[in-house]
């Protein structure tokens, strides 16, 4: 993409309404525009990152054997009357009437609808296990929408629903989700810690939240200093191997890590004092096992091998896809702007032309652009008639991890400059070497 032809409405001033750095930077970098409290348009740069995150979520869910579908945003109230949640959900639910005066709602989550799909089409244990998920907009009329996309009213969520015959199978589904989530967050360059949590309106007694440590997080968290050091890395995971999956979950949940809702001071105090950490975290996902809460209420039963019928065992598993943009920026920025991890960056690298209109410089930039594109990468080429300082400031603000700077002086010596946004370190090299380096960096992303 050439910046002269792109739509990147960056702001020079800090927007007064933004209280935390991720919100401020998303507005300044022209990623989002607020349309009403907690409701945003996703401008091209923000939309691109949202899609990158969504893609990683899809890939890791499919790897775990989960199946994508798409349910609507609007739901009939009658489904929610069956589970009893139409009355329970309270003011967070946006209730709508259609022209026939029928009660509808904008879905805050989809347990009822997926249970309805299940009961219409599945009746035998032979069709289990089954996990269906979608990535869809949700609406919760939050009392205090704030911090930009972090606590929106309209937000983008991955929600998956598992169906199993037995409690044991359902717990395997729960564990599978935990491991697939760990992988998902790690691919984005994030450390998200599973913490024992409370279940709220979804229900059930087995639930973990995934928290990214950040001072601006809304939850207070208590954890053993050793927990953030745990990494899944690139180990192979066989999602059908129950014991192996359970062992990974044990590895990540045995040490103390809890939110304020489940914190137990006595247990916490058993950790050696120097390892006791208290901080704040951003909840980027939550998994629930709630058994037959919805299947019983809504008559979603399956036949068993011995010929009886039982309500299907269920769990639901969510990732805050739009919230992740905020969490990623909270965890990756400096005073100049965003620093995208390679896994989610909107463009793979920037090209800065220091002398627009100079024939040799323009042609070197064009050649770099072509070579990167031919290697399957997406560069953002700043080809505007702007001062070098302004071009650098824009690149730093929008946070592309790598920048190639091209000017007549370097070209005279046969070199361009490759700069890392994270370390600020620059290295001079031939243009072909810069392309090769960037191709190599992204080979694993």
Size of the site for ligand 5CA (CB under 6 A): 19
User: Quick one: which of 46, 189, 281, 285 contacts ligand 5CA (CB under 6 A)?
Assistant: 285
Q: Pick the binder of ligand 5CA from 164, 283, 330, 396 (CB under 6 A).
A: 283
152 belongs to the binding site for ligand 5CA (CB under 6 A): yes
Tokens of 189: 């360059």
Least distance (Å) between residue 16 CB and ligand 5CA: 22
Cβ closest to ligand 5CA, residue 294 vs residue 369: 294
> How far apart are alpha carbons 216 and 150 in whole angstroms?
10
| Nearest alpha-carbon partner for 378 in 1, 7, 54, 44 | 1
Q: Output the smallest distance, CB 91 to ligand 5CA, in A.
A: 14
Beta strands in 6-53 (DSSP E): 32-36, 39-42
Binders of ligand 5CA among 304-323, rule CB under 6 A?
Answer: 316-318, 320, 322-323
Nearer to ligand 5CA, 131 or 405 (CB): 131
In angstroms, the Cα distances linking 230 to 60, 214, 233, 234, 324 are 19, 17, 9, 13, 20
Q: Which two tokens stand for residue 169?
A: 């199978």
Q: Binding of ligand 5CA at residue 116 (CB under 6 A)?
A: no
Name the residue nearer to ligand 5CA (CB basis): 207 or 353. 207
Stretch that binds ligand 5CA, among 122-130, 154-162, 216-224, 335-343 (CB under 6 A): 154-162
Structure tokens, 403? 């920048």
What is the full DSSP assignment across 271-316? Answer: S-GGGEEEEEEEEEEEEEEEETHHHHHHT-EEE-TTS-EEEPEEEE
- Asked if 208 interacts with ligand 5CA (CB under 6 A), we say no
Among 105, 113, 202, 365, the residue binding ligand 5CA under the rule CB under 6 A is: 202
Binding mask 127-146 for ligand 5CA (x = CB under 6 A): -------------x-x----
What are 164's strand-pairing partners? 313
What is the per-residue burial (b if ≥16 Cβ within 10 Å, else e) of 369-403? bebbeeeebebbbbbbebeeeebbbbbbbbbbbbb
Q: Which C-beta is closer to ligand 5CA: that of 3 or that of 105?
A: 105
Sign of the CA dihedral with 294 first, then 181, 27, and 137 last: negative
According to CB under 6 A, which one of 23, 24, 119, 151 is a site residue for ligand 5CA? 151
- Measure CA 228 to chain center: 18
For position 159 contacting ligand 5CA by CB under 6 A, the verdict is: yes
Of 313, 317, 316, the residue nearest 168 (C-alpha): 313
Q: Is 109 in the site for ligand 5CA (CB under 6 A)?
A: yes
Choose the binding region for ligand 5CA from 99-107, 151-159, 256-264, 367-375 (rule: CB under 6 A).
151-159
Q: Find the shortest distance in angstroms from Cβ 92 to ligand 5CA.
A: 9
Residues of the shown chain interacting with ligand 5CA in the complex, contacts defined by CB under 6 A = 109, 140, 142, 151-152, 155, 157, 159, 202, 283-286, 316-318, 320, 322-323
């Amino acid at each position: 993409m050439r910046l002269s032809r792109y739509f990147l409405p960056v702001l020079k001033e800090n927007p007064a309404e933004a209280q935390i750095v991720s919100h401020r930077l998303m507005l300044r970098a022209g990623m989002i525009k607020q349309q009403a409290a907690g409701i945003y348009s996703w401008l091209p740069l923000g939309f691109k990152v949202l899609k990158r995150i969504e893609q990683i979520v899809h890939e890791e869910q499919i790897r775990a054997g989960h199946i994508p579908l798409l349910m609507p945003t609007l739901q009939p109230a009658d489904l929610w009357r069956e589970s009893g949640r139409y009355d329970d959900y309270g003011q967070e639910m946006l209730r709508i009437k259609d022209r026939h005066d029928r009660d509808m709602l904008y879905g805050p989550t989809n347990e009822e609808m997926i249970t309805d799909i299940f009961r219409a089409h599945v009746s035998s244990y032979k069709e289990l296990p089954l996990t269906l998920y979608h990535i869809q907009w949700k609406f919760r009329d939050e009392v205090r929408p704030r911090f930009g996309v972090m606590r929106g009213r309209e937000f983008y969520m991955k929600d998956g629903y598992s169906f199993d015959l037995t409690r044991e199978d359902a717990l395997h589904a729960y564990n599978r989700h935990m491991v697939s989530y760990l992988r998902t967050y790690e691919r984005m360059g994030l450390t998200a810690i599973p913490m024992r949590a409370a279940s709220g309106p979804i229900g059930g007694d087995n639930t973990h939240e995934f928290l990214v440590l950040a001072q601006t997080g809304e939850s207070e968290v208590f954890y053993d200093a050793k927990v953030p050091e745990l990494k899944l890395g690139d180990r192979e995971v066989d999602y059908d191997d129950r014991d192996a999956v359970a062992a990974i979950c044990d590895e990540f949940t045995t040490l103390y890590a809890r939110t304020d809702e489940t914190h137990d001071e006595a247990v916490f105090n058993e950790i050696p004092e120097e390892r006791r950490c208290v901080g704040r975290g951003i909840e980027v996902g939550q998994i629930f096992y709630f058994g037959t809460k919805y299947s019983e209420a809504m008559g979603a039963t399956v036949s068993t091998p011995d010929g009886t019928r039982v309500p299907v065992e269920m769990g639901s598993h969510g990732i805050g896809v739009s919230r992740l943009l905020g969490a990623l920026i909270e965890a990756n920025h400096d005073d100049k702007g965003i620093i995208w991890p390679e896994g989610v960056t909107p463009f793979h690298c920037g090209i800065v032309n220091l002398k627009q209109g100079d024939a040799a410089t323009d042609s070197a930039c064009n050649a770099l652009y072509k070579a990167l594109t031919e290697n399957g990468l997406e560069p953002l080429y700043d080809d505007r008639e702007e001062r070098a300082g302004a071009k650098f400031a824009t690149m730093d603000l929008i946070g592309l991890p790598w920048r190639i700077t091209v000017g007549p002086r370097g070209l005279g010596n046969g070199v361009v400059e490759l700069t890392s946004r994270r370390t600020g370190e620059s290295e001079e090299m031939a243009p072909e070497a810069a392309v090769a380096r960037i191709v190599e960096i992204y080979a694993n992303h």
